[in-house]
Structure 1
Amino acid sequence: MTLVLADSIQPFALGLIGAILVWRLLCMTFQGPDHKEVWTRIEAVGVSGNGIFPWTRAVVGSILSIQKNAHEGYKRICKAKDRPFTLPTMWTGGAVVVLPPSLLPLLNKPDTELSGFRALIETIQLPYMISNRDIYENVIHFDVVRKILTKKEVIGSLAPTTAEELDIAFRECWGVSERWQTMNGWDVCGRIITRAALRTLIGEPLCRDETFLEQSRLYANSLFAGTAIINCLPPLVRPLLGPLLALRAKYYQARCQKVLRPYVEERIRLWNQRQERDNQPNDFLQWMIPKCSSAHSDQLEPNKTAMRLLALNTMFIFAMGYVFAHCIFDLYSSSPSPKAEFLHDLEEECKRVFVKHHGLSTKAAIDSLYRVDSSIRESMRLSDVGVTNLPLDVVSGKISLGNGIQVPPGVRMVFPTQSIHLDPSNYEQPLCFDAFRFSRRFETLEVPNKQLGERELLTSPTPSFLAFGYGRHGCPGRWFVAQTIKQALAYVIMNYDVELAGAPIKRKALLNMMVPPTNAQIRIRRKSQKETGL
């Protein structure tokens, strides 16, 4: 069996290397003098020697070594010299330019000069995952996020419904037993977030449909697993193997769409018939229907509308599930003494705010959870989704990086976000989880102190915290994400005891993506009413 496997892997590996060599030769043959000048003027990290063969080895090796190379380049070049460096990566089949933090203002340049859209499409490999290009090129659903899901009054109006849904979801998914039980942490955290996200996206009753819930979760996981593997292939062979690797995600996509389509059709029918359009459901589907109706005539077609919901739902489920799961893992796996202090003080805050606001179902109550906010921000700092982020493609003209470096169109640039988050000059003991890192200095204040500056909240991007983007590229849905995850974490703290089971979690990078700990086990028990005191 081993010999058969080895015999099958060897030609496949040789084929990949051959494809990369061909790709590199094509790139080197057809790139202009401006591109050649960029690669010669900027120091490369992870390449031992000159020529096509060292670069090919580096590109192949980037699947497992990009994290190490990115950290080395950041320390040796970005920090020491305030200069960019090039990083070989299978993502592009060549290299990306990694920018120092001093160049973060480039993110505010207009999309006509620097655009992150194509890079985002490639990161998720949407052309393989979604057959209809109009779904990901005509981003009506993201326009709705930017225009509606950024309003304070809208965010506040969602708090009662997500609080209600979280209570039901935790009781059903985590249980109410006061005896310890062991569960897959990644799955049970994902189930909670799936319920909360679907309640906001499509409302009742479909958000509680067990078939749709499970298919949505499987779709999100299979989509990101498939894209991670596709990104590890040479660009030259992706058109051949990409469609095959996307089949699993498309299978779950079709099952989700089968359930979702008649629900969308009924919502559209009711919207068309309703003269007085008051008392409508307060969810994303209802916000999107008039937006699609006012666009091109075919945008309100039920299949398209359903696919837009699925595309957005997948982003919410995976991204929010990733953050929530890691927050649980980071908080409950910290050292015994700090963990006891963190949990005690977090529970004190949650109960105090709960009593004062008669629950955690208002924006005012959730905004008062400063320790909870800090804990999630700290987890996002420590447990990045990717090694680098905030990709930018040069679209037109030349972009100056200083030191005489001019980057022409066609070059992709990124920022070393993980290295920035783990930089000792930005954070004391950066490898340690400190739940109150961002709230501690404000604890004793009764009135604002200008000398301490403003609070660094979960939704506040700074040059040293880029988990939600920065500048014009800040995530427009971050207020909803923050509010929902704060409600979920506060619910866990007040109602459950949690322990990590098994070996400590070791995070690994696959190309640019940090692989989620899908096998992590947790032990949980519901606290008694006497223990909660509520």
Structure 2
Amino acid sequence: MVAELQDSSKSLWGTGTEWREIPLWQSCFRLAAGITSYALCGAPLCRDEKYLKYLQAQSVAVFGGAILINITPKSLRPITGTLVRWWCLYYSKRIAKRCAPYIKKRIDETKTLGAGNNGGRGLVKDGLQLIIDETISRGDPSQLAVEVISERLLIADNASIHSVALTLHNLILNLVNSEPSLGYIQALREECRNVFINAGCKWTLDAVRNLKLVDSAIRESMRVSPFGSVAMARTYTSAKLEFTNLLGMKVPNTGITLRALFLRLGLRRRRSRG
């Protein structure tokens, strides 16, 4: 993960001191796609530029399509939904075709060496291997189809890419727009330098855990600039005319409930400090 993050950041942002314009959102989106893919399926897919471009486009189709459906009048939503479905399928089929040989090879390795042995990869497990192991343990061969595994992997990608990209994007903007005299960036650089040296000039999991200021900066950025104000909307459907939620509010049938996302972030932040 560290090597992938270093290689991607160097190629996208460079390491020189000369002035350089950076398309921040696009670079954060590409970086998020790469590191998410590394965690979920590893190399070589996480370095396949065409695969990563398909992932980014699919993610935009899913979330952009959801927005289009929500702003469409209810009577026209079946039409919008069909168009969005075609939009998403266009990229999901190309993603499946791109990663099919890799998934098939991993399935064959797992069958040969036994589920749970991680395909001879030692103790390292990625998202794809966990999906394959879980599927084999259920004893349903139809679920081991390459297309099915690809779809499950794609769901995890869609859930991760935007959240990582938005968090990183907002963090960078908050830091560069902060008052220079406060020295936030300098303090973070100094902490990273000291932790890196103390870890023997090699990033490890324990070293990352010692980045207290970096962790605090990320959490504070998520609090100040959350990437969403509410969690997923849920529509109440039941034979009952209404129900009472946890706040004691009466919600009618077909009513939509939302949970404030920033309250959840704040609660987690307070708990982590406690």
Q: Give the TM-score, by structure 2 length.
A: 0.85
Alpha-carbon distance change, 369 to 248 in structure 1, aligned in 2, over 3 angstroms: same
Residue matched to 2:36: 197
Q: Distance in 2 between matches of 1:271 and 1:454?
A: 40
Q: Distance in 2 between matches of 1:206 and 1:168?
A: 15
Deviation at 1:386, TM superposition (A): 2.3
SS at match of 1:415: coil
Q: Distance in 1 between matches of 2:184 and 2:16?
A: 24
Residue matched to 2:221: 379
| Letter matched to residue 249 of structure 1 | C
Map of 1:97-116 to 2, 5 A cutoff?
Answer: none
* 1:348 pairs with 2:193: no
Residue matched to 2:58: 219
- Which structure is larger by alpha-carbon Rg, 1 or 2? 1
Q: Contact 1:392–1:412 (CA<8 Å) still a contact in 2? A: yes
Residue matched to 1:370: 212
| Letter matched to residue 317 of structure 1 | I
1:478-530 Cα distance to aligned partner (Å, 9 max, x none): xxxxxxxxxxxxxxxxxxxxxxxxxxxxxxxxxxxxxxxxxxxxxxxxxxxxx
Q: Distance in 1 between matches of 2:15 and 2:85?
A: 38
Map of 1:16-95 to 2, 5 A cutoff?
Answer: none
Q: Distance in 1 between matches of 2:46 and 2:33?
A: 8
Deviation at 1:212, TM superposition (A): 0.9
Q: Contact 1:401–1:407 (CA<8 Å) still a contact in 2? A: no
SS at match of 1:179: coil
| Letter matched to residue 40 of structure 2 | L
Match of 1:314 among 141, 158, 162: 158
Q: Distance in 1 between matches of 2:110 and 2:245?
A: 51
Deviation at 1:456, TM superposition (A): 2.9
Match of 2:256 among 412, 424, 431: 412
Residue matched to 1:399: 244
Residue matched to 1:456: 273
| Letter matched to residue 456 of structure 1 | R
Q: Distance in 1 between matches of 2:194 and 2:83?
A: 53
* 1:291 pairs with 2:108: no
Residue matched to 1:232: 71
Bigger proportion of residues as helix? 2
Q: Distance in 2 between matches of 1:176 and 1:353?
A: 20
Indicate the RMSD between aligned Cα atoms, in angstroms. Answer: 2.7
Alpha-carbon distance change, 248 to 335 in structure 1, aligned in 2, over 3 angstroms: farther
Q: Give ranges in structure 2 of 5+ residues lacking alignment.
A: none
Map of 1:85-234 to 2, 5 A cutoff?
Answer: 162-234=1-73
Deviation at 1:372, TM superposition (A): 0.7
Alpha-carbon distance change, 360 to 328 in structure 1, aligned in 2, over 3 angstroms: farther
Structure 1 vs Structure 2: percent identity of aligned residues?
A: 28
Alpha-carbon distance change, 352 to 241 in structure 1, aligned in 2, over 3 angstroms: same
Q: Distance in 1 between matches of 2:245 and 2:67?
A: 32
Deviation at 1:390, TM superposition (A): 5.6
Match of 2:148 among 285, 295, 304: 304
SS at match of 2:22: strand
Alpha-carbon distance change, 386 to 454 in structure 1, aligned in 2, over 3 angstroms: closer
1:258-315 Cα distance to aligned partner (Å, 9 max, x none): 1011211111111112259363253111111010122233211110001111111122
Deviation at 1:321, TM superposition (A): 0.9
Q: Distance in 2 between matches of 1:259 and 1:163?
A: 25
Alpha-carbon distance change, 376 to 400 in structure 1, aligned in 2, over 3 angstroms: closer
Deviation at 1:400, TM superposition (A): 5.4
Bigger proportion of residues as strand? 1
Deviation at 1:322, TM superposition (A): 1.1
- Alignment length, in residue pairs? 264
Q: Distance in 2 between matches of 1:368 and 1:227?
A: 39
* 1:333 pairs with 2:177: yes
Deviation at 1:359, TM superposition (A): 4.3
Post-superposition, which runs of at least 4 consecutive aligned residues in structure 1 deviate over 4 A?
Answer: 390-397, 400-403
1:101-122 Cα distance to aligned partner (Å, 9 max, x none): xxxxxxxxxxxxxxxxxxxxxx
SS at match of 2:21: strand
Deviation at 1:421, TM superposition (A): 8.7
Q: Give the TM-score, by structure 1 length.
A: 0.45
Q: Contact 2:61–2:84 (CA<8 Å) still a contact in 1? A: no
SS at match of 2:18: coil
Q: Contact 1:163–1:360 (CA<8 Å) still a contact in 2? A: no
Deviation at 1:343, TM superposition (A): 0.9
Q: Contact 1:323–1:380 (CA<8 Å) still a contact in 2? A: yes
Q: Distance in 1 between matches of 2:201 and 2:59?
A: 31
Deviation at 1:233, TM superposition (A): 1.2
| Letter matched to residue 227 of structure 2 | V
SS at match of 2:33: helix
Match of 1:270 among 109, 128, 140: 109
* 1:252 pairs with 2:97: no
Q: Distance in 1 between matches of 2:58 and 2:161?
A: 10
Alpha-carbon distance change, 203 to 229 in structure 1, aligned in 2, over 3 angstroms: same
